[in-house]
Amino acid sequence: MSFVEYGDTIKDGDTAIVFLGHESMFPVKVQHGTVTQTKYGVIRHSADLIGKKYGSKVTCSKGGWVFILHPTPELWTMNLPHRTQILYSTDISIITMMLELKPGSIVCESGTGSGSLSHALIRTVAPTGHLYTVEFHQQRAEKAREEFREHGVEHLVTVTNQDVCKNGFGVSNIADAVFLDIPSPWEAIGHAKSALKAEGGRMCSFSPCIEQVQRTCLAMEEYGFTEINTLEILLRVYNVRTISLQIPDLGKAAEDNSSTGFDSSSPADQGSPCANLQQGAVQFKSGVPLREVVGHTGYLTFATKS
């Protein structure tokens, strides 16, 4: 099993996603002799998972059933254990596009955090690219290494435990892109410039506060970056559903028609809107926004090394 290479069959040691519904799923490490409890009953790994195909419908001990899905960066983002605040797919998608990432790209990232963005970057640059990710917190760095190894992507990523603001990324003039998600990104702009290739490299800084963005933009200008721009992604989801609306009561329409000599019983007038308008309800499809929507997550500042 690998997050960048799809496998058909569930094997011992794989990380799989137990899918109970769109709002209910969780990751599980498949192991011989292990069982997993769900609200539909027990899943026995040896009998119910190992050797089955990903996407299979598995019946639990109480008669309910779940689907077992192959992990992807998007599913991992929704189910990973949170060691820090994470980036979600809405921001990740614009980051990978604006940094112009592709298979073979070299990317530097700080900090690693819970690894949400890291998995997406690895999948984007695979199979010939590489991710250099720096994490200040030692335990988080060690946990990230363990997860990358379990997910079959350790050959595509190098995890370093150090302070990027003081020691940089550990590489020079090779990166196609740099991503910063740290409290004081303006202190790491010089190291980001050093890590980027000679010219044309792209960088992105994620910050939740506009004051951080202002200081970062000033530092980018000081170090000669161009095409500096900041944006914010706000996602608004719509539900398409059937709406029922009452037809308005127009009052004395019939009396008004008779006073003007209009005969609603005449065959020639049966197709008239006034003749067919009756009090009642009409149904139609409509897009309705959700009552609760995700608000501000953070500001994304992009720039190019000139």
Domain with 37 in it: what CATH number? 3.10.330.20
Do residues 171 and 79 share a domain? yes
Which among 71, 102, 122 is the end of a domain?
Answer: 71
DSSP 13-24: T-EEEEEEETTE
Question: What residue has token string 């010219």?
Answer: 199
Domain boundary among 42, 71, 100: 71
Neighbours of 291 (CB within 10 A): 6
Q: Tell me, what's the pLDDT at 250?
A: 74
**Hey, which residues does 45 pair with through a beta bridge?**
none
Task: Give the pLDDT confidence score for residue 264 in this predicted structure.
Answer: 47
* H-helix segments, the chain: 73-79, 89-98, 116-125, 138-150, 164-167, 189-195, 210-222, 253-259, 273-276
How high is the pLDDT of residue 274?
46
User: 86 and 109 share a domain?
Assistant: yes
Q: Please report the pLDDT score of residue 76 as a whole number.
A: 96
pLDDT at 257: 55
Angle at 83 between CA 196 and CA 183, to 5 degrees: 45
Q: Are 152 and 3 in contact (CB under 8 A)?
A: yes
Q: Are residues 217 and 114 in the same domain?
A: yes
Residues 226 and 96 in one domain: yes
Spacing of C-alpha 132 from chain mean position: 21
Q: What residue numbers bound the domain in which 32 lies?
A: 9-71
Q: Provide the CA 305 distance to its chain's centre, in angstroms.
A: 27
Residues 99 and 182 in one domain: yes
Q: How many domains does the chain have?
A: 2
Q: What is the pLDDT of residue 101?
A: 98
Do 166 and 90 have their domain in common?
A: yes
The answer to whether residues 130 and 106 touch, using CB atoms and an 8 Å cutoff, is yes
Provide the CA 281 distance to its chain's centre, in angstroms: 40
Binding-site residue positions for S-adenosyl-L-methionine: 114-117, 135, 163, 181
Radius of gyration of the chain (CA): 28
Per-residue pLDDT of the chain (306 residues; tens, 9 = 90+): 899 988 899 999 999 999 998 889 999 999 999 999 999 999 999 999 999 999 999 999 998 999 999 999 999 999 999 999 999 999 999 999 999 999 999 999 999 999 999 999 999 999 999 999 999 999 999 999 999 999 999 999 999 999 999 999 999 999 999 999 999 999 999 999 999 999 899 999 999 999 999 999 999 999 999 999 999 998 888 889 888 888 877 776 555 555 555 454 555 545 444 444 445 788 888 888 888 777 789 999 999 998
Beta bridge partners of 225: 305
* Residue 180 covered by a domain: yes
Same domain assignment for residues 230 and 127: yes
> For position 293, what pLDDT does the model report?
74
pLDDT at residue number 259: 54
Q: What is the pLDDT of residue 253?
A: 55
Query: Using DSSP, how many helices (H) and how many strands (E) does the chain show?
Result: 9, 15
Q: How far is CA 44 from CA 49, 61, 273, in A?
A: 7, 9, 65
List residues forming the annotated binding site.
Answer: 114-117, 135, 163, 181
Q: Residue 305: which of 165, 173, 166 has the closest Cα? A: 173
